[in-house]
Amino acid sequence: MADRLVFFGELLLRLTAPGHELLMQSPSLNLHVGGAEANVAIGLAHLGHDCAMISCVPDNALGRGAIAGVRGGGVDCAHVVRGAGRMGLYFLSVGAGLRASEIVYDRAGSSFATSAAGDYDWDAALAGAKLLHLSGITPALGPQSADSALAAARAAKARGVTLSFDGNYRALLWDAWDSNPRAILTELIGMVDILFGNHRDLSLVLGQPFSGDGEARRREAAEAGFAAFPQLQLIASTARHVVTADHHRISARVDLRGGGHQSADRDVTGIVDRIGAGDAFAAGVLHAWTEGGDARAMAETGLALTCLKHSLPGDASRFGVADIAAFEGGGLDVRR
């Protein structure tokens, strides 16, 4: 039985200012390996799943280090190829109080962004796959990446593999080239079974405004998505209210064709690192989906993992099933 979860996207190196410093305040940076799809893969690997990554990195110390970091997270990297170009980077200054976090990207011309669909062996990479997960960051990187994302999606559908897609809309990336994000994303979402996206993502592809104000209006947006995309079976999203950089209120929602579930708000305080929280949510939802969970189970598991991720430095969730159970149990004393 196919049970492998496969992920296609760019691996990035993250360079973070120490503590809550500004970038370049002191002559040191902390390094983490990240990337939207890799973060979901690592999160699910820590929940006990067989996960594999498809990507392209340069054949140098940075590329090899990125592979080692993802492999160290429990993810098979046999289908990460080496190519020309450079390693994608981004720089982070972690906010505090009334100062927001700040990210500076340096990823143009990376090995992944300049790779072609033909550089990947889709037959081998998708052998035994139950699911392929992509994000909207990949097609936003440029025309070759857009072609590769579409090729990956078509390869999955041709093999009967469930397709999961996180909208992750990045206007600056789309605007950097002669792109047509609505057309490309509409084609991708037309093949998708599981969509991580909210009313704004649906507004973009459907060309009509939706409000996220209240459960009824969020359901209205989901129903429009289901009507427009017959393949689509599940839509998952979070809503975040930022009180300060260290205090957010977060809720989760999962819509199915037959109904849905929206969680209560959870106060997340003492935030250590919010980067990758959306990827942790995706990992939690997909974990519950693989276990046959209903809309409530998927929303609440995703919410638990995204809340926990805020306590952990780095891009990826590294929590197990016992950590989710402890979170849901509400115990905050030292676990001995």
**pLDDT of amino acid 212:** 80
Q: Summarize the confidence of residues 247-276 as an average pLDDT.
A: 95
Which is the catalytic residue, given 201, 246, 279, 315?
279
**pLDDT of amino acid 1:** 40
In angstroms, the CA 191 to CA 187 distance is 7
Residues paired with residue 237 on neighbouring β-strands, in sequence order: 253
**pLDDT of amino acid 253:** 97
Q: Summarize the confidence of residues 189-209 as an average pLDDT.
A: 94
Q: What is the pTM of this model?
A: 0.96
Number of Cβ within 10 Å of residue 221's Cβ equals 25
**pLDDT of amino acid 331:** 66
Whether residue 262 is predicted with pLDDT greater than 90 in this model: the reply is yes
N residues, the chain: 336
H or E segment at 303? Answer: helix 295-309
Give backbone dihedrals phi and psi of 208, rounded to 5 degrees, phi first.
-140, 145
- The verdict on whether 3 is a catalytic residue reads no
Q: For all residues of the chain together, what is the average pLDDT?
A: 95
Q: Summarize the confidence of residues 99-124 as an average pLDDT.
A: 95
> What's 85's DSSP letter?
S
